[in-house]
């Protein structure tokens, strides 16, 4: 499946499979909270903005015997429009990025001569966890809630153009693609392991995951289009008989404080750049690592782990990007292969692939790919046929 617009939600069936209802009979009631958002995955919702979230309580109550129904809503953070009996509701996210838990309790009372008895025959509760962002207006002097994100540079600023040679930068041609993110998400103990799609968790995109800073509280930008693209790539890999779910990230989000700081200290020899799509939550560096040794697997079967294995992996990014391009799904992007990452502080080196969702092509309408030549032999890479 190629993502076109609607993301089918997983079922959110939180209730026990059956509840007793007198004299050995059981009543199978399932309740769930659904949203119309395509970023809902089972019982977790990733909010792409700070708009109110429409909520719908769904349940499968049989028509007979007849019950009176009472519904009560509650949440631990943010605000609900209503707390009393209604199937529809709205959730207003809290002012700062957080995971909010919304609960709806459904209580069933037997109908007796038109009067409601005091004791319910059944109570079921459905929960929904909502990951909401902080607005970028809270970013002051490069700091958000104690976390140093740094400054997003404006490619139209002459001082920036002078400091960093932008003559060959896409930021000069598509400045609208390099606007600062509007939202940031808190990654902490509570949010890190929350599933935001079939295979991905919020923490997968955190800085230096899974190397050094796993326990640290930090903020990330994340374009959900990137999540959709990674899920599509996993599907492409699975179709080809590769273990797509064994995708491992080298880098997701990197704040400007990290990117630009390193350029200064490394004399601009670093791969990290002032207009990297990693800063905008639109890029990921990754490997396929079925044997969990933090190195790309030997995908071409030559007994060695080299940039040619990254070439095997990026073939499937090409397949996917061509589909996106042909169907005008704006998730196509840049891709590149590397024979090593230049994060020397990490204990393990590996070839890897970069993939992003920049949504533009080169001047000749081709997918943007790099490098021009194979790093090992120096021969040209035939990107159109890779």
Q: Which of 122, 136, 119, 218 is nearest to 180 (CA)?
A: 136
Q: Which stretch binds Ca ion (CB under 5 A): 196-204, 238-246, 271-279, 307-315?
A: 307-315
Out of 309, 321, 339, 356, the only residue in the binding site for Ca ion (CB under 5 A) is: 309
What's the min distance (Å) between Cβ of 41 and Ca ion?
Answer: 27
Are 202 and 196 spatial neighbours (Cβ–Cβ below 8 Å)?
Answer: yes
- Alpha carbon distance 106, 123 (integer Å): 6
Q: Which of 124, 223, 297, 356 binds Ca ion (CB under 5 A)?
A: 297
Contact between 291 and Ca ion per CB under 5 A: yes
Spatial separation of the C-alpha atoms in residues 228 and 196, rounded to whole Å:
10
- Between CA 245 and CA 338 the distance in angstroms is 21
Please say which residue, 260 or 312, places its beta carbon nearer to Ca ion.
Answer: 312
| Sign of the alpha-carbon dihedral angle for 62, 65, 67, 72 | negative
- Distance in Å, CB of 376 to Ca ion, minimum: 11
**Smallest separation (angstroms) from Ca ion to the CB of 301:** 7
Q: Give me the least distance between CB of 354 and Ca ion, in Å please.
A: 18
Q: Which is nearer to Ca ion, 100 or 350 (CB)?
A: 350
Helix (H) or strand (E) holding 225: helix 224-239
Q: Pick from 163, 172, 289, 325: which binds Ca ion (CB under 5 A)? A: 289
Task: Give the contacts of 268 (CB within 8 A, at least 6 positions apart).
Answer: 164
Give yes or no for residue 81 binding Ca ion (CB under 5 A). Answer: no
Comparing CB distances to Ca ion, the nearer of 241 and 267 is: 241
Closest CA to 130 of 72, 45, 194, 188: 45
The secondary element (H helix, E strand) that includes residue 163 is helix 158-163
**Please, which residue, 297 or 356, has the CB nearer to Ca ion?**
297
Find the binding residues for Ca ion in span 206-265 (CB under 5 A). Answer: none
Instruction: Pick between residue 72 and residue 295 the one whose CB is nearest to Ca ion.
Output: 295
What is d(CA 30, CA 87) in angstroms, rounded to the nearest whole number? 14
- Least separation in angstroms between residue 312's CB and Ca ion is 8
- Could you list the beta-strand ranges (E) of 178-234: 183-187, 218-220
Give me the least distance between CB of 304 and Ca ion, in Å please: 5
Report the 10 Å Cβ neighbour count for 333: 25
Query: Candidates 8-16, 21-29, 38-46, 292-300 — which segment interacts with Ca ion by CB under 5 A?
Result: 292-300
What's the min distance (Å) between Cβ of 38 and Ca ion?
A: 33
Nearest to 246 by CA among 154, 179, 313, 302: 313
Q: According to CB under 5 A, which one of 16, 28, 302, 342 is a site residue for Ca ion?
A: 302
Q: Is 384 in the site for Ca ion (CB under 5 A)?
A: no
According to CB under 5 A, which one of 157, 193, 238, 293 is a site residue for Ca ion? 293
Give yes or no for residue 298 binding Ca ion (CB under 5 A).
yes
Is the CB of 188 or the CB of 339 nearer to Ca ion?
339
| Residue in 295, 315, 325, 346 binding Ca ion, rule: CB under 5 A | 295
For the chain, the residue count is: 386
User: Whole-number minimum distance, CB 308 to Ca ion, in Å?
Assistant: 6
- Selection from 296, 294, 298, 307 nearest residue 338 by Cα: 307
Q: How far apart are CA 81 and CA 79, in angstroms?
A: 7
Backbone φ/ψ region at 142: left (φ over 0), alpha (ψ -120 to 50), beta: left
Q: For binding to Ca ion (CB under 5 A), which residues are involved?
A: 289, 291, 293, 295, 297-298, 300, 302, 304, 309
């Amino acid at each position: 499946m190629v993502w076109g617009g609607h993301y089918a939600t997983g079922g959110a069936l939180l209730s026990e499979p059956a509840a007793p209802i007198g004299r050995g009979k059981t009543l199978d009631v399932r309740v769930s909270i659904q949203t119309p958002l395509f970023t809902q995955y089972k019982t977790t919702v990733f909010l792409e903005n700070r708009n109110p979230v429409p909520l719908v309580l769904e349940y499968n109550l049989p028509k007979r015997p007849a019950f009176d129904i009472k519904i009560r809503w509650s949440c631990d953070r943010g605000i609900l429009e209503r707390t009393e009996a209604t199937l529809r509701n709205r959730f207003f996210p809290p002012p700062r990025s957080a995971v909010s838990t919304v609960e709806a309790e459904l209580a069933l009372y037997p109908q007796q001569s038109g009067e409601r008895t005091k004791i319910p025959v059944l109570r079921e509760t459905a929960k929904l966890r909502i990951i909401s962002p902080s607005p970028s207006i809270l970013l002051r002097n490069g700091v958000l809630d104690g976390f140093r994100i740094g400054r997003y540079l404006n490619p139209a600023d002459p001082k920036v153009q002078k400091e960093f040679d932008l003559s060959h930068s896409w930021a000069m041609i598509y400045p609208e693609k390099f606007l600062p993110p509007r939202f940031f998400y808190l990654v902490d103990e509570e949010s890190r392991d929350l599933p935001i799609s079939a295979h991905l968790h919020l923490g997968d995109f955190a800085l230096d995951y899974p190397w050094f800073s796993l326990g640290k509280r930090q903020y990330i930008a994340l374009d959900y289009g990137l999540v959709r693209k990674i899920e599509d790539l996993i599907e492409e890999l699975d179709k080809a008989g590769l273990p797509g779910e064994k995708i491992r990230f080298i880098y997701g989000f990197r704040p400007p404080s990290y990117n630009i700081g390193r350029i200064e200290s490394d004399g601009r020899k670093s791969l990290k750049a002032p207009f990297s799509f990693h800063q905008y939550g639109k890029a990921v560096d990754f490997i396929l690592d079925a044997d969990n040794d933090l190195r790309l697997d030997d995908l071409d079967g030559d007994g060695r782990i080299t940039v040619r294995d990254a070439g095997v992996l990026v073939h499937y990014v090409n397949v996917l990007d061509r589909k996106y391009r042909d169907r005008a799904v704006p998730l196509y992007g840049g891709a590149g292969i590397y024979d090593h990452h230049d994060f020397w502080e990490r204990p393990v080196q590996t070839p890897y692939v970069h993939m992003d969702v920049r949504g533009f092509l080169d001047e000749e309408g081709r997918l943007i790919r790099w490098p021009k030549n194979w790093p090992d032999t120096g021969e040209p890479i035939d990107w159109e046929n890779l």
